[in-house]
Amino acid sequence: MNKIIKFFLIFAVSLFFIDITEAAERKIVINLPGRSLALYEGDKKIRLYPIAIGKPSTPTPIGYYKISSKDINPTWTDPSNYKNTIPSGPSNPLGYRWMQIYGNYGIHGTNNPNSIGNYVSNGCIRMFEANVEELFDLVQVGTPVEITYNRVVVEKTPEDVVAFYVYPDNYNRQALTVDMIKNWLKGYGVEDFISDEDILAKIRASDGTPAFVAKSNPIVLNGEKLKEKAVQADGAMYLPLNTIAGKLDEKYDWNSASSVISTSFSEAKGVVKNNHVYIDARDLKDLFRVKGELSKDNVFVIGDYTDNKPESKVENKAEKNIEKSTVAPAPINTNAEKPKEPFKTEETKKNANNTVVNTDSTKSKDKKDTTISENKNNEVKKDVSKPIKKKGKPVIVRRPANHKEKV
């Protein structure tokens, strides 16, 4: 009997620690300009909901909090008259769920679903009733709550296209510039693939709709992961010329008049993006005698052509003859451009379902997180060997401690 009791005690304790661990792994992140609430499990976003937040005159406070209490069927008490209360029911402005996060501020349901997506509350976070009941069951007392004010969100869509959103500044807290947004896009290596004019137009609109830029992939060159990215746009995979040539220790010459890149092996057309020169990945073999391909895990891998499995015996033999020959290569016909096969990649889906919460929308859809890091500038050079907690006024009063809960 003692062994059985001991077993059940150990089992109960283990379940307790499992619940605590799960609660610690989950957190709520609220972005006020986007009027969105995301639930994370570790680094993975598992839920995204639209919300209503405080009016500019009674803003929702930003900062780091936690869920301090959870209540089912809460009673609303008028903060100006404690005798004026509304019990749980269809007339209760708190809905049927309440999660306190700070003082009298909380996350709760609403009896006015048309308010979701707007700046209407006295500082609390309102949710659709079905959404708040789902969230209520997914979190515990102690779950962290992070409330931020980010007008710009950069992410990758489910189709791996880098997109950014610009939200309105109803609290008048965050002025934006083109350079600020381009700096955020640097983390994905696509800052050169959108014009200043297009970014400025998105800032002026501030409508929360996605602006699709391009696909980006990490680059691994001879086993080294580079800071710069390979960018898929206009049916091609583009690589930063200055970085690739520098890492391969190869000289090149850039003719800006004809947009031609010349190396000791061959020459090819280049593309200028925001004063930086990019090469088509299909020209790697001709310009630098290296092979590049997109791996199954979406990493663009570049390596010595002779260190990889040859595409055919004839081609491998030709490559060896080039290495052994001491005779200078024949003059190149610069007037003829070699046709290229289209780079195989998925087309950008302009109708990707990844809008967070638009100004007039009440629906939510999943997004991925945004990771931002600095990239090294790829400057163009000629004939070079190594190209170089804020507290707000309480607005919601919870029911008295001795009030009996209606479940």
pLDDT at 3: 53
Mean pLDDT of 109-114: 95
Helix H segments across 260-352? 284-288, 313-324
Backbone angle region of 103, left / alpha / beta, with phi > 0 → left and psi within -120 to 50 → alpha:
left
Q: Which stretches does DSSP call E strand in 188-283?
A: 211-221, 224-233, 236-240, 253-255, 260-262, 267-273, 276-280
On the 0-12 / 13-18 / 19+ scale of CB atoms within 10 A, 33 is buried
Query: Are the CB atoms for 270 and 278 separated by under 8 Å?
Result: yes
CA–CA dist 143, 45 (Å, integer): 15
Mean pLDDT of 274-288: 95
CA–CA dist 255, 274 (Å, integer): 16
**278: confidence class by pLDDT, cuts 50, 70, 90:** very high
CA–CA dist 56, 182 (Å, integer): 28
Best-predicted range by mean pLDDT (22-36, 144-158, 377-391): 144-158
Closest CA relative to residue 141, chosen from 106, 110, 96, 104: 106
Query: Are the CB atoms for 185 and 191 separated by under 8 Å?
Result: yes
The greatest distance separating any two alpha carbons of the chain, rounded to the nearest whole angstrom, comes to: 99
SS3 for 91? coil
CA–CA dist 370, 39 (Å, integer): 15
CA–CA dist 287, 307 (Å, integer): 17
**356 or 109, which is more confident:** 109
Backbone angle region of 89, left / alpha / beta, with phi > 0 → left and psi within -120 to 50 → alpha:
left
Give me the catalytic one of 37, 67, 94, 124: 124
Q: Is the pTM of this model over 0.75?
A: no
On the 0-12 / 13-18 / 19+ scale of CB atoms within 10 A, 5 is exposed
Q: Which of 68-82, 212-226, 269-283, 333-347 has the lowest mean pLDDT?
A: 333-347
Which residue do the tokens 């896009």 mark? 185
Query: Which residue type does 103 have?
Result: G
Are β-strands 63-66 and 53-54 bridged in parallel, bridged antiparallel, or unpaired? unpaired
Whether pLDDT at 61 is above 90: yes
Q: Bridge partners of 29? A: 38, 146
CA 77 to chain CA mean position, Å:
40
Percentage above 90 pLDDT, the chain: 62
CA 389 to chain CA mean position, Å:
25
Angle subtended at Cα 45 by Cα 41 and Cα 46, rounded to the nearest 5 degrees: 75
Domain annotation for the chain: domains and CATH numbers: 2-148 (2.40.440.10), 152-324 (no CATH)
Whether pLDDT at 16 is above 70: no
Q: Which of 106-110, 355-359, 393-397 has the lowest mean pLDDT?
A: 355-359
Catalytic status, residue 108: yes
Q: Bridge partners of 239? A: 279
Query: Are the CB atoms for 263 and 287 separated by under 8 Å?
Result: yes
Report residue 275 as tokens.
């004063």
CA–CA dist 143, 25 (Å, integer): 8
Would you tell me the crossing angle of helices 196-205 and 178-185 to the nearest 10 degrees? 110
* 171-187 per-position pLDDT tens digit: 999 999 999 999 999 99
Angle subtended at Cα 122 by Cα 120 and Cα 125, rounded to the nearest 5 degrees: 75
CA–CA dist 347, 335 (Å, integer): 31
Closest CA relative to residue 230, chosen from 221, 239, 241, 242: 239
Q: Bridge partners of 165? A: 153
Report residue 165 as tokens.
């959103």
Q: Which of 70-79, 249-258, 263-272 has the lowest mean pLDDT?
A: 70-79
Give me the catalytic one of 26, 108, 202, 291: 108
